Structure 1
Amino acid sequence: MRRAAAVAASLALLAAAPAGAATNSNVAAKPPSSQALGEYVTGKPVGGRITLRLFAPDARRVTLFLGNVDPTVTPPATLMRKASNGVWSTTVGPLAPDMYEYYFSVDGYRSIDTGAALQKPQRQANTSLVLVPGSLLDDRDVPHGVVGSVRYHSDALHADRQMYVYTPPGYTPSGDRLPVLYLYHGFMDTSGSWVFEGRLPEILDNLIASGKARPMIVVAPDTETEVPVAEDFPGPRLVPEFFARNALSADAELTHEIIPYVQSHYAVRDDADGRAIAGLSQGGYQTLSSGLGHPGLFHWIGAFSPGPLQAPPNALIEAGLANPARVNATLKDFVLTVGDRDGLVLPATEQFEARLTGLHIRHRYEQAPGHAHEFDLWRADLADLLQRLFRP
């Protein structure tokens, strides 16, 4: 009886509490269940316009930062307005079809959009994503491949690891052996980066359906090996002490474990002409490390805004560059890209490209006008590469 009375008293307190208020000062407020949740969370894009919302009734100032810009540059700021229900909102657009990064500043604290499903895959999440439909990134009515999360043990790293594997529409283990692309993400992101922000499945599904890309398997490993651990290094020490060491660890994992695992678990070709490697930013640096460091293992290399090329000499890259004739004899396509507004890696990429030219190593160099160190460029780079891969 006492328990029933306590429950009744609690319900009475809840009923008396104002909408959106917390009944305990130690409990964060949440939208009232009596109202439609859609009034409190970010809406879907309509005609390129998006109304972004954040429920923060106790906040004094909320600012939206939206845009695909270089990490060295702060995106444009939009001050949001607070309604009587505790919701801060603003409408932006019309925006061109694309995927956009954004975040909120809540009284100076950087926050993801807690009312959105799409978040940037990061080791420490601080950015949300929104897709404005109308491009190759869309989930179209075409046959779809399958993306699986694969766990395995790495003896090289003494750890259990995870990667994503895309298999194309119609793939069966007993079918034709397919070419494979190994695709690396950037610094402080995760193996899900190319899958969710890069839109790899949607891009490749759409290209295969239109006959512009050949069916292939794509493997997206984790570029960060934890040997060493990135978070253990303050900023000034990352370039001189972290990147080259991590690249060697990731290369050992790739050559001794990931490639053999894929060869034994999937119907893939076992020749260099059916094997490619690509990546963005730190993943582009990894691509150059493993792609140039093992001549004859890959016939196709795509390094998108690779960095940091100003890191101490990388033994794998230097070994490849020491034998330009062998590199030329084993690579069918070697593409190097960077945005002409890249505030992180442009100078070092230009210097590296000049070195390739001086060594007479055949390559394609593309400096994209108007682009910074951003996924907007890398998705386009990926779409272009996928259409070139595994052609005679």
Structure 2
Amino acid sequence: MKKPRRLASKLGPLPQSDSGAQQSKHRRVFDHLLASIQSGGLKPGDRLPSEAELGKLFDASRITVAKAVHDLQRMGLVTRRPGAGTHVLAEDRPSGRTFGLLIPELGLTEIFEPICHGMMRTRSARPDALLWGNSSLSVQDSAKAAEQTVQSFISQRVAGVFFAPLELTSEKDAANRRIARALDRAQIPFVLLDRCYMPYPERSPHDLVGVDNRCAGYIATTHLVDLGTRRLVFFAEEFAANTVEARITGFYEALRVRGVKPDWEPVWRGSPQDEAFVRRMIDAARPEGVVCANDLTAARLMQMLIGIGLRIPEDIRIVGMDDVRYASLLPVSLTTIHQDCGGIGAVAMATMLQRLEQPELPIRDVLVPVRLVVRRSCGAPLQKEKHSAN
């Protein structure tokens, strides 16, 4: 039996605490183990230190360590053997497979590029290739481009497809269903990224990897309420994905739990670049704070509000979702919900590989945790980042 190497040589130096961000102990353990596996510090067949050893090393509880190790196991990176401990999973599968990336919004939003890079950085994906489909430069052309891309993937007989369903167009539902039917007929498995293409409570028969959007909406809303903001609205564009509906559900739930009973219309759907619509919302709801469906909507709304003479956060507080790269560079740095896009990509690849190897597994929703990043737009004292509990 291979003898375990010393902790320092297996895991490398522990990261120094980041003075700009308070990282949960679970995340610190998980990230360091994942980095050690991906860098080759922990090699296939190596035994991880015991949960007791890891707990001592990271000054974390055994429950916290077990959760981090379980997350690695769920990603297909480690295996637990009774009486033998936890080992890095050795790769024993055919290589040379090609997967297609069907992401119509790749050129329109920032979250999917780091998701794709997360797939490519995953150790288990290195023998395989990712085929990037053509992305559309406009929402109007996205449905046609996506259907052309899926036919190209079918003709090339890719091993599987990562599919982020269309949104923000009236054609999205019909186009998404046509794409799904085409892949099913071709018997090509696909993993959904970020969202399902069927409206709640319907559920497609395919694995989904994303974040807990209801939780994201809840965290953003309770943050504003706890700052003393009572008159809140949720702002979203029309034809948004059902992830937005889940965020709205979390928004309503947070209002209920915090005892806020709106006597105004709390949800507004329209363009943040439509001045007449934005003014109508301001006059009708008189909001003290706005929870936006995503950072792009928040950025556009911020620009409009500043343009009509309102101050952020003095007159209106804003929270977004996604934590895209420009969120901290807006005229007023944006408080937002951070998604671990690289982690979503890694989990999506592990889910795809497991689906190929075990097609009989039940359909799964795999949700990566989110956290709140506090910046100026919410009006909170600027201290350390505030994290979710999940």
TM-score interval, smaller chain:
0.3 to 0.5
- Tell which has more relative contact order, 1 or 2 (C-alpha 8 A, sep 6+): 2
Higher percent of residues as helix: 2
* Higher-Rg member (1/2): 1
Higher percent of residues as strand: 1
TM-score, normalised by the number of residues in structure 1: 0.32
